[in-house]
Amino acid sequence: MGWRLRENAVVYALTFIQSWADRIVPVVVLTELVRWTCSNGAR
């Protein structure tokens, strides 16, 4: 019973992280791109 519960918790956590990554990754990439463009334009 214990390991089954833990396995489900891991699957749930991975699903949760995946759903967040789908939202966060594009934002982070865009932010880095904007910052990189700004720093290059400043020089």
Would you write out the chain's pLDDT as a tens digit for each of its 43 residues?
577 888 999 999 999 999 999 899 999 999 999 999 999 876 6
Query: What pTM did the predictor assign?
Result: 0.47
pLDDT value of residue 15: 94
- Domain layout of the chain by residue ranges: 1-43
| Dihedral sign computed on CA atoms, order 9, 14, 19, 24 | positive
CA distances from 2 to 7, 11, 12, 28 (A): 9, 14, 15, 37
- Which two three-digit tokens encode residue 40? 């290059």
Q: What share of the chain is helix, strand, coil (3-state, %, to 5)?
A: 95, 0, 5
